[in-house]
Structure formats: structure tokens, C-alpha cells
Structure 1
Amino acid sequence: MNKLFTLVTLFCVCLLQAQDFNQYFEQKTLRLDYIFGGNLEDQYILLDEVSSYPQWAGRIHNLDKNALKGNGQVRIYDAKSETLIYTNSFSTLFQEWLSTEEATKATKSFENVFLVPFPKEKVTIELVLFDMNGKEKTKLVQYVDPSDILIHKKGEHDVTKHEYVHKAEDDSKAINVVFVAEGFKEGEMDKFMEAVHVSVEQLFAHDPFSQFSANFNFIAVQSPSIDSGVSVPREGDWKKTAVESNFDTFYSQRYLTTNRIKKLHDILAGIPYEHIIILANTDVYGGGGIYNSYTLTTTGHKDFKPVVVHEFGHSFAGLGDEYFYPNDVLSDLISNASEPWEQNITTLVDFDSKWKKMLKKGTPIPTSTKDAKKYSVGVYEGLEGNRIYKGALDCRMKTNQYSEFCPVCQNAIKELIEFYTK
């Protein structure tokens, strides 16, 4: 009798969870375009445009939870009940820029786009940015009526040419990832498709992605560019490409990014997607990955294979870099006064929330590099004196030469995939 009661209860709970999405949302996407701007002292958020896509390609469960805190969050509340009905976390190029010296003396703006499920009724939307200690710094509250005639419908016609290169077993539980062609002319799409297939092979060659291949849709989007290659400002070389990416971001030669986020998402309108990998047609080493925004990596360099996996570790899984250099351009993003939200690094402020449970009994905290053979998972300082620690001496998030994610990163990726799919 007790067993029967338990089974019935579990069935009812699962049924309620499955109905949550349909209670509040349509199978469509609400696209929110924002401008983030300001400087180190003052930041602001402005709504640019609200539009819709004809399908929803994100998760349909765990709607009111965030797997990771991120550097910002979008939160949707039912206007009548004030119930939180959806949330997602993210990071932005704008917040990275705030850590640079330029932000102390200049004011700039950055585009950002967020995809959320399309509400059935009026909603309140909060867009929140956190400071380097994880505290709310800037917030915009807006109200959206789904019947608003000014919601721009996109993706219903003239959808960019695309094809599936890997299909999930169950579309309703799939994680949808698109590959976007950058700097490939119409006649170079065979080269782009080859890079897409190599990227998929490399991701599935790494645990735990290899264990969850049935949960991913990978879609190649053949977005043509007028010019071949990408822009290199330090050489005065500006090209006309699909998403207008360029090296020298924040004056760092290898940092390849785009701030044309609206243009990127316009290319993808009408295609089911949640995560984005931009493949650039150049043999110059570089790239970048921004959590829940995009991965951008070059395809012609000899280290393309490990780099695309590393950058996807950033953009998909929110993993932090495990290499640290003195006076690094982004070093000020991590504060020793708080615990970073990235699951593979710690300042020991709240190590209990990280990989402490994975440590072998008796493992010293911190762990000396001399004991690395004794403790495959430890608490190793990234750079002497910086008091930022990682779980292993080497990892895909540290060097291109290392062949796999460390156990801490593998566990973090696994938990995130299960959050999306179970």
C-alpha cells in the first residue's frame, strides 16, 4: 500500500512539473533585446526591442531555478500572482569590459539578447546585473503584454539555410546548439561544414559530453559573409562578415568577439537554438566564450580542436579559466572576498558549495602541488599568491595540451546537462 501511494505521488509530481510550462507559456520564444551601457561607476540597462520566434527551444522544466548564478539573471513573474515562472542566468561582454582600465575613464554600450518562453498572460520581467561580489548592482523592471501589437514577429520567413549534423533521441529534452558561419563566403561553406563536423567530434570525444550525445541537437547555420576571414583591427583590416567579429577585444590580441548580438540572433531567427558556437574562418589563434551568450573560435589554427571545446566549456557550462597570469586583462573579474559562481574555481569563501565532497579523506585544503600524485582531486592554487584555487593541476580549461576535462569540470558539466534534460 505504501509503495502504491509513493508511485502515485511521484506520478502526480511529475505530471504537475510537466504541466508548469503549458500553464504559463506557449511553445514560442519571446526575444528581449537590451542595451547595457555605462562605466565602472555607473551602469544602466535599456530595453531596445521585443520580438517573438515561432518555436521554443529551451528547457521546459526547472523553470524557476538557475543551475548557475552567473553575472546576471533574467527573471519572469506572472503579473497576477507575482509568481516566479522562469529564470535564466548569463554573463556579458559588457561586464568583462567593466574590469578593464578603459572602463574607469570611458562610457560605452553593448548589445545583449535574451531568449525566454513566450508568456500566455501579462508578465513582469526583471533584468539584473551583479557586481564582482555577486551582489545586485543594476536592475531594470519592465512589463510585457503578450498581445502587444508591437512585438515584432521574426523567423517566420526567409530562415537562414541550416541543417542538423547530429540529432537528439528526444527533441522535447534536447539541448539545442547552433554553429554559425563567420567569415565564410558562399563558396566556402564546404569548409565551414567540415569545421562543424570536427567540432562535434571533438566535443563528443570529451567526457561527459560523450555520455550525453543522445541529448544534443547540433545544427549548422550557413550564414554567408561578403568577405573571407575576420577583422584584425591592429592591422587596420576590417572585413564585412556575418556577425562582424574582430580580434583585439579590450586591446587583447587573441580575444575574438562580436558586439553585434542583434545581428547574430537575427541570423538565427526561426531556427531552434539555445546555445551558440560561432566558427570563424581564419588561421590566427584566438577566440572567446561567454556564459549563455556564445562561443567564438577560429577554425584554421592547429589548436582549433582543443580551443573549441575549451570555449564551449565557458559558454555552455559556465566554467572559469584555470590558467592565471599576472595583470591579466580579465583578472579583476574574480574577487577574493566572495565565492565565484563558476563551479571549477574557488576562493575558499564557500568551498562547501564546490567540489569539497569529491576530495579524498585527509586531502589538505589548500593542497600543495608537491602532493599532486597523491591527490588527483585537490585544492591547488592557480597562481602563487592569487588565492584562487582549482581542482587539478591540469585540465582542458587550463591548457590545450591536456586531453580532457578534470574530474571537477566533468562533474560540473554533467550536473548542468542533467539540469537541462531531466
Structure 2
Amino acid sequence: MKIRFVLISILLACSAASAAPRTMRLDYYHTGNDHQETFSVDRIVIEPLPWPGDLSKAIDDTNMGAYLFEVRSQSDNRLLYSRGFSSIFSEWVTTDEAKNASRTFSESLRFPVPDQPVRIVLKEREQGEFHDVWTTTVDPKNKFIDSSLPPSPGPLLTIQKNGEPPTKVDLLIMGDGYTAAERSKFEKDARRFADILFSRTPFREHRQQFNVWGLCPAAPESGVSRPSPGIHRRNPLGTTYDTFDTERYILTTENRALRDYASYAPYEFIEILVNDRTYGGGGIFNLYASVAADNQWSPYVFVHEFGHHIAGLADEYFTSDVAYLPPTKKIEPWEPNVTALLDPTNLKWRDLVTAGTPIPTPWKKEEFEASEHQFQTQRHDLRAQNRPESDMEALFAKEKQQEDSLLAHDQYSDRVGAFEGANYAPKGYYRPQENCIMFTRYDAFCAVCSRAIEKVIAMYSD
């Protein structure tokens, strides 16, 4: 009865979408290492709700993501739907582990239920261009397509509704590691982070173009897994710290569970609130983002990671430890906010460059690097000594004060140019402005990042 009530309430929230097709989801396995990969179908399901998107904006022309999938008519090869995305595999394959071991990840493709047999074509970006890597067929009349209801995550929380799902960007905030008794805490956290997001440009100016929903399957224990100090939990969404052995990186590889629970809300984008204080989060383009809800710096992490998720923004920092290996060949990144500057005359944000700004653009790079390396050493020491999280929060406050002081009054601080140091590399990659929330714990997106976000908002809203 509870599942039935939840489903009815959600369908009422999406009543105007009753003429829309249902949502089909192809779950598949992605297996491989740094030199080979294979794909295999897990299952095909019909989700409980109608397709949340605008059918007139079915084709993705942004050329973003590590992968692109297409839904094509089997009879005439007509393109019906496409979306670019990235995945955990696309990150893991750049780590040292992928040199010597293979892993399997569950992944999903969501699209409107077709009215005819279709081919699903998966393309992978290689040397900057998409190439076909897997094709499978789907007949919507196949008797093995599963239309049963998945386990209920509990009641749907409407945080803000500004229109019907096909006309708005639908953001789903999910809680993980919240017990049933902590439901009210999740609701407060979800509303708080929605307000945080819409306090920042360009989200502030486009708040009316968003719907925000909340779902929180109850956890048997409070909190999530943190393998470094030996903490393990069986939380519903499976989020965990220490992804790729990076203590602050929070992801889940429990894709099936995530997608089944999320299917009870209309969504294009997902943000997972982790019921923990320890600093951390993660964000992958068109997959999901995550943040530890109770840290002093969670507002920054939330917005930064959502930038990865919604607009494919790259990390612009280069002094923090990451698990990724540097590329063997330098090519132009697909991400909109970093460049290899292989052709300075065709800089991809050239139209935003302030007149008279030199390319590359000078900045206090050596002074910044020296300061950051000192803070990174202190950060490692605090974790090694298992110091209270308040000590780490205080260190980050000192670091931000130093960064803001150093970067605020440089010659080209407020200009768009090409500043060396980005994409985890101190040399060879460039970011658009000296400071940005994708570079430090700065409070704002740069002009290039803001434009990239607005482009995606326009894809999903009226």
C-alpha cells in the first residue's frame, strides 16, 4: 500500500506529462582495463514515471562527455535521441590500477520508450573524436522488459516546483546514510543545499527554470562507509569515501540501487547528500554528484561538484592529490573550461577574452604553488594524525584566506584569458580566469563556467 501511495503522489506531481512516453532504462555492464573493454546487457526496465524531458530537445549537439549514446530507428537509422555523458569507468581507466586489473561497473542509459524497435549505439571519445564501441537492439514489445515497481524509497519531497517536468530542469536530491529517524534532518539538509545552489550565479538567475525533488531511502545505520578509518556501512545507495583510494572522493558503484530508487522522481540530474561531516564529495558529467552534508565547507563542495555533473566542468586545480595518471598524448580537452592551448588563435572561449589580455596570461603561479604545497602537507598530516574534522575545516579557512589574498589583486585577476595550471597539471593546460570555484574554494564561477552551465539549463527548460 505504501509503494502504491508513493507512486500515485508522484504521478499527480507529473500530471501534465501524462501524454509523454514512459521512461526506458537500459542497464548494462561495462568491463575492462586501460587497453580493452566490453559491454553486455544486464536488463531493460520501464521506470514508473513518464519521460521527464522535452521531446523537442531530444538530440544532444554539445559534443561533451567521455561517451555519447544514440537511439536510432532500426528500420531507417533515424536518430531519435542522444546524450553525452561520462562514467566511473572513464575515470577509473586513467588510474594506476587499470594497468594491471580489470573491473566491471554497472551503468545505465535512459531514454523515452520508443514506439518501434531501435538500435542503441554507444560511442567513446578517442583522441577527441567519438567512435562506435558497442551496439545493441531494443524491441519495446520484448516480453522480458521489466515494468515491475522497484522498492520504494519513501515519500517524495517537493522542494520547489516551478512547472511540469518537461519544461524545467529537474534536479533530484537524494539522501544516503540517513536513518528513518533522521528523515527530518534530510529534509532540512535538502532544502538548505537547494538554497545554497540558487544563491550562486548563474543558478540564482535561473532558479525559476528548476524543479527540485527529494528522495531518501531509510538507512539501517547513520552515516556511510569510510574505509580509511575502518568504517563500513550497508547504506541504501552504497556511497563511500575513498573511491580510487582518494579519501575525500565519495561515489557509489551501486548503480542499480541508485537508479531504481531515483526512478520514483522526475529527474535529469542527481545530487546525493551523504549524512557525514568528513570533508568530501564527487561529481561526474550526466551521472550524479555527491557531498558530505555536515562539513563547514559543504556549500562549496556541493556547488563545485554539481558544476562537474551538470555542465561537464573540469577541475582547474593542480596541487591536490588525485589518482588519475597524466595523459600520454596531449589533446584538446572536451570540457568547456580548460584548454591545452594547442592553437592560441582559436581559443575556445576567445569571444570572452578581455581586449588587451595576453595569451597565455601571466599570474602569480610560483607563489601560489609554494603556498598550496605547504597547505597540502599540513592536510596530509592532519589526516595521518586522525585529528578532529574541525582542525581540517580551520586549515581550509586559512587556505582560502591566503588564496583570496593572493589572487584578488593580480594584474589580470578580473579578466578572461588563459592561465596556466588546470586539469590536475601545473603545465600544459590552461583555465579561463585566475580564480573560480572550479579552481579554489572561491565563491563564484568564472564567466566561461557560467556560460557552460547556462547552455545546459537551456537544453532542459523552456
TM-score by length of 2: 0.81
Residue 447 of structure 2: aligned partner: 407
Counterpart-to-counterpart distance in 2, 1:73 and 1:234:
35
Residue 222 of structure 1: aligned partner: 216
Q: Is the 8 A contact 2:220 2:235 kept in 1?
A: yes
1:173-212 aligned within 5 A: 173-212=167-206
Q: Is the 8 A contact 1:155 1:270 kept in 2?
A: no
1:261-280 aligned within 5 A: 261-280=255-274
Residue 226 of structure 2: aligned partner: 232
State the Cα RMSD in Å. Answer: 2.2
Is 1:380 matched with 2:419?
yes
Residue 114 of structure 1: aligned partner: 109
Residue 44 of structure 1: aligned partner: 38
Match of 1:298 among 271, 292, 301: 292
Counterpart-to-counterpart distance in 2, 1:51 and 1:72:
22
Against the structure 1 CA distance between its residues 159 and 404, is the aligned structure 2 distance closer, same or farther, given a 3 Å change threshold? same
Query: Could you list the per-position Cα deviations for residues 102-122 of structure 1 after superposition, in whole angstroms to 9, with x for gaps in the alignment?
Result: 100011111111211110111
Residue 330 of structure 2: aligned partner: 337
Deviation of 1:46 after TM superposition, in Å, equals 1.2
Counterpart-to-counterpart distance in 1, 2:43 and 2:361:
50
Deviation of 1:259 after TM superposition, in Å, equals 0.2
Is 1:311 matched with 2:305?
yes
Deviation of 1:317 after TM superposition, in Å, equals 1.2
Bigger mean CA offset, 390-399 vs 277-286 = 390-399
- Structure 2 unmatched runs, 5+: 1-16, 365-409
Deviation of 1:61 after TM superposition, in Å, equals 2.4
Q: Is the 8 A contact 1:182 1:242 kept in 2?
A: yes
Counterpart-to-counterpart distance in 1, 2:306 and 2:108:
19
Match of 1:391 among 432, 438, 443: 432
Residue 356 of structure 1: aligned partner: 350
Counterpart-to-counterpart distance in 1, 2:153 and 2:278:
31
Q: Is the 8 A contact 1:174 1:215 kept in 2?
A: yes
Bigger mean CA offset, 349-358 vs 293-302 = 349-358
TM-score by length of 1: 0.89
Counterpart-to-counterpart distance in 2, 1:347 and 1:179:
34
Which amino acid in the other structure matches residue 51 of structure 1?
Answer: V
Counterpart-to-counterpart distance in 1, 2:233 and 2:343:
46
Counterpart-to-counterpart distance in 2, 1:141 and 1:108:
21
Q: Is the 8 A contact 2:96 2:325 kept in 1?
A: no
Which amino acid in the other structure matches residue 412 of structure 2?
Answer: K
Deviation of 1:159 after TM superposition, in Å, equals 6.0
Q: Secondary structure at the match of 1:398?
A: coil
Is 1:28 matched with 2:67?
no
Query: Could you list the per-position Cα deviations for residues 227-285 of structure 1 after superposition, in whole angstroms to 9, with x for gaps in the alignment?
Result: 11110112222111011111111111111111001110111223211211100011111
1:238-257 aligned within 5 A: 238-257=232-251
Q: Is the 8 A contact 2:165 2:266 kept in 1?
A: no
Q: Secondary structure at the match of 1:119?
A: coil
Count of matched residue positions in the alignment of Structure 1 and Structure 2: 396
Query: Could you list the per-position Cα deviations for residues 282-341 of structure 1 after superposition, in whole angstroms to 9, with x for gaps in the alignment?
Result: 111111001100101101111011110111001111111110137632253x67632111
Q: Is the 8 A contact 1:155 1:269 kept in 2?
A: no
Which amino acid in the other structure matches residue 56 of structure 1?
Answer: W
1:55-204 aligned within 5 A: 55-131=50-126, 133-136=127-130, 139-155=133-149, 158=152, 160-204=154-198
